[in-house]
Amino acid sequence: MTIQWFPGHMTKARRQIEEKLKLIDVVIELIDARIPLSSRNPMIDDILRGKPRLIVLNKSDLADAKETERWIAYFAAEGHRSIAVDSSTGTRVNEIPVLAKELLQHKIQRQIDKGINPRAVRGLIVGIPNVGKSTLINRLAGRNIAATGDRPGVTKGQQWIKVGTEMELLDTPGILWPKFEDQLVGYRLAMTGAIKEQVLNVEDVAFFAVKAIAGRYWPQMQERFGVEEPPKDLEDADEVVRVMEEIGRKRGCLVGGGRVDLEKASGIILRELRAGKLGRITLEAAQSEV
């Protein structure tokens, strides 16, 4: 299965971002801590044209804490400040305005030296669909001002939102890119809910998920689903399907003749992965493939 999803409003969103850049002091790039590279839009570097940037690894409560530390170190080596947060509970969210302001300290100091009273920092928040931008904005603003949802494509337009007295944020719709050169990226995005399920084959996505999780977090999969034996060979499709069928049997996904409804079982696997019911899982290791 080839995974692609680039609705027309995403082209419009890119154009709007480019038009607003002259007003922006700092960019807050929001990514998914479970798939830090796959959830970064490769077009962003070109779009942002060297603006100061803070990388925010959201949903860190769902990610492997040790892997998140490695990703923080990875981005530091690339020359980027980064922070891991959980926008759903507010963990470390209040540090974001402080770090964003630190990135502009030299510019702010020059204004002070010239006798200019610095205005509120203007930040642009960008990220792929369903990475938690609106939830983060609501946390920062201290009120429900941005529409939220557990599906991609909730935010449709742009709006300025005040964060205290020292920051204003420009919210934007999530933007994917026209073509995934690496289909593994598409599968990771599909697994974590960044792509609408209506355009996916859930069995293919769940197959990839079982491979990815069983290879690195088998004890967590075994505990959640009660599956007794891991795949003997992750490259053996029959072995991966065997695990999916066992999960289906454990959850009662049966049809005539005692056969397993793989589509139903696949939906369960993906929903529970996305909800964090398998524990803290990172699907992409720093500087290496899953």
Binding site residues for GTP, as ranges?
58-61, 130-135, 174
DSSP 231: -
- The residue whose two tokens read 């941005």 is 146
DSSP 57: E
Main-chain dihedrals φ then ψ at residue 202, nearest 5 degrees: -65, -30
Residues within the annotated binding site?
Answer: 58-61, 130-135, 174
- The residue whose two tokens read 């005040």 is 162
Contacts of 197 (CB under 8 A, 6+ apart): none
DSSP 197: G
- Give the three-class secondary structure for 266: helix
The beta strand positions in the chain, using DSSP E, are 26-32, 53-58, 81-84, 121-127, 159-163, 167-171
Contacts of 221 (CB under 8 A, 6+ apart): 210, 213, 214, 227, 278
- The residue whose two tokens read 């969103």 is 13
Distance (Å, rounded) from C-alpha 288 to C-alpha 290?
7
Distance (Å, rounded) from C-alpha 233 to C-alpha 150?
34
Q: Report yes or no: 135 and 87 within 8 Å, Cβ to Cβ.
A: yes
Amino acid at 222: Q
DSSP 34: T
